[in-house]
Structure 1
Amino acid sequence: MNLTTAQPARHPDPTTKASALAYLIFERPDLEKAEHFLNDFGLQTIMRGDSIVLLRGTAASHFCYVVRKAPKSRFVGFGLKVDNRADLDALAKLPGASGVERSHLPGGGYTVRLTDPSGFRVDAIWGQATAPKLSHRSALSFNSVDAAVRINGTQRPPERAPEIIRLGHVVLEVADYQETCAWYAQHFGFIPSDVQVLPDGSPVVAFMRLDLGAKPVDHHTLALAQGFAAAYSHSAFEVVDADAVGMGQRVLRDGGWTHAWGIGRHILGSQIFDYWQDPWGDKHEHYCDGDLFTADVPTGVHAVSREAMAQWGPTMPRSFTKPRFTPASIVALFRNLRRSPDLTLSKLRKLAKLFA
């Protein structure tokens, strides 16, 4: 493969190293409708008010999903945990950053609010208290041809929304692909695990993981894809096993929600996955059995295609990546074609041929 364009790379001396993806922030015109979908999806409400709803999984975090009341629906951004107060002080010195502020959300702690090069809000968080873990069912035991572990027993996972364990990753589309990838590597220590490229070697998707040294982390916590404007693609939430993924599909389908893609197993990251749309068409993924990498694993480079997104299961439908054209997004398209070094008509035609 001829790599004609520089690939996203790890930074030799990042400002900080994020230690976890903490939460997502959405704005919705109807909090009740948003909460209904998220409860059916498996998240648990921990706070409900006139202007905000907070939800959590079973892991030791007070919340992982923030829904704020607003006239229009949009994805705002997300929070990243850092390990010490010095990290916040360093981030507060970046252009456009807020000062260090006390958080008034459950768990407390301190935050610095930043904006990435694509306009997404990024909260750096330190000092947030942990929450008690909630119980969840154990993973089911499996009889195999080599080992029978379940004798005189049956498999009967509970017929209810799957218990979300934790927020796993978020995927964003950006026009300024190289600058945005570099920003997360420079300021939060993200490492590209795998990069997907067009036939000419131009990178168009970067799967980026946290750098926790020898401690294994998810194959990707953040993924960035070349698009014509900044947009939310999807977020992913871990469940305990494949039966939880399957039961999630049953519950959501019975609830009348819109299916987006699945069930299948990804190639990059290896997760067993299933995707669903919330009332505003934003995709949410159930997954289990994802890859874990340490910091020393080098970046892989792969050709991008619709077929390269899954090992088995249905091929990614074209509706999954179909762009949403609105007056604002059309204006952004023409503006970004003029100003972004990463966006050209040729690249858009190639991406459209592959995915649109």
Structure 2
Amino acid sequence: MTILGIEQITYGVTDFETCRRFFVDWGLKDVAHDETRARFETLNGCTVLAVDANDPSLPKAFEAGPTLREVTWGVARREELAALRELLACQPGFYTTDDAVGCFDPAGMAVRVEVTRRRELDVEGSPSNVWGQALRVDTPSPVYERAEPVEVGHVVFFTNCLAEQEAFYHELLGFETSDRYPKRGAFMRCAPHGGHHDLFLLALPDGKKGLNHVAFTVRDIHEVFGGGLHLSRCGWTTQLGPGRHPVSSAYFWNFMNPAGGLIEYYADEDVLTPAWQPRDFEPGPTVFAEWAVDGGLDGNTRRQKSADSPHGAFMTQRKQ
């Protein structure tokens, strides 16, 4: 049994219309909605649900306010659910149907596993020309006016039971630990061969648990910038970015999310195999971000929001 990745995320929200507008600006397709529930999709069919927080059908929240209520993971075949039913049967909140199995993880996040509905895509990012290897010839890199996320790439939780939660995902769902902050955090991927992490668990000194962020994969670094600039033009607030994570090598841009926590565009993460040996890192600002723009970039001037706008036709042109 191998988890393929995130199939669906479900938010319990307190300002439904604002959240619905935000996810459309984020670049998701509004598939269906009514007064209390909206369903969005990424390009490959990953689903984002925004549901009124008072809806009794939602799993119990693991923190106050708008937040993530459930993460659904995908497997390739229905037969793989049988093994999971046995493994998860003793977990809190366990349930099973013909099409899915679910429970709560040790921190209280609802976990569901079902057969994947994600679509195969013919989508490529722009290759980079590095010294000694020109992959893009007679072809300029794209400039994106906005982002269209390809998939839901990973989730990040604050946890008050790091060891128990890491063991739950490794022993019951088959996740592998890619890298660690010893006794503080674990970067985990859902299969031995795959992107650097699908899940990051972080223990804070104050013992807080809850959602940190949900990250959406885009084609390339240029779409990270294009998506972030569009969100800025729409008036949404940058938390940090654009920037680059040294641990996973990914470029990122994080925004405040009215549905709960933060939300991230990212691209160009490391791809690992079973030969990878987990590394230990000491937490710190430069480990989190090799570089980052505090406050983001203004969507109209393309400059840091605290900087003056350029004058004239060229940025090198100065006022007389």
Q: Secondary structure at the match of 1:87?
A: helix
Q: Distance in 2 between matches of 1:234 and 1:247?
A: 20
| Structure richer in helix, relative to its length | 1
**Residue 78 (1) aligns with residue 74 (2):** no
Equivalent pair of 2:151/2:216 in contact (CA under 8 Å): yes
Q: Distance in 2 between matches of 1:210 and 1:81?
A: 10
Q: Secondary structure at the match of 2:73?
A: strand
Equivalent pair of 1:307/1:316 in contact (CA under 8 Å): no
Matched residue, 2:52: 69
Q: Distance in 2 between matches of 1:52 and 1:28?
A: 9
Q: Secondary structure at the match of 2:3?
A: coil
Matched residue, 2:60: none
Matched residue, 1:140: 126
Distance verdict in 2 for CA 1:154–1:316, change over 3 Å: closer
Q: Distance in 2 between matches of 1:217 and 1:163?
A: 22
Matched residue, 1:311: 290
Q: Map 1:143-292 to 2 at 5 A.
A: 147=134, 149-151=136-138, 154-155=140-141, 157-159=143-145, 161-197=146-182, 203-212=183-192, 216-227=193-204, 228-279=207-258, 282-292=261-271
Which deviates the most, 140-149 or 182-191?
140-149
Q: Distance in 1 between matches of 2:51 and 2:260?
A: 17
Per-residue deviation, 1:133? 5.1
Q: Distance in 1 between matches of 2:263 and 2:155?
A: 9
Q: 1:46 aligns with which of 31, 48, 54?
A: 31
Per-residue deviation, 1:77? 2.4
Matched residue, 1:337: none
Distance verdict in 2 for CA 1:265–1:292, change over 3 Å: same
Q: Distance in 2 between matches of 1:40 and 1:95?
A: 38
Q: Map 1:8-23 to 2 at 5 A.
A: 17-23=2-8
Q: Distance in 1 between matches of 2:22 and 2:9?
A: 16
Which deviates the most, 295-304 or 283-292?
295-304
Q: Distance in 2 between matches of 1:24 and 1:246?
A: 24
Equivalent pair of 1:194/1:208 in contact (CA under 8 Å): yes
Q: 1:96 aligns with which of 92, 97, 118?
A: 92
Please give the per-residue CA displacement for 1:187-221, whole angstroms capped at 9, x wherever unaligned. Answer: 11111110013xxxxx1011011234xxx311111
Please give the per-residue CA displacement for 1:315-346, whole angstroms capped at 9, x wherever unaligned. Answer: 799xxxxxxxxxxxxxxxxxxxxxxxxxxxxx
Which deviates the most, 73-82 or 163-172?
73-82
Per-residue deviation, 1:251? 0.4
Unaligned runs of 5+ in 1: 1-15, 103-109, 198-202, 318-356
Per-residue deviation, 1:47? 1.9
**AA matched with 1:217:** G
Count of residue pairs the alignment pairs up: 280
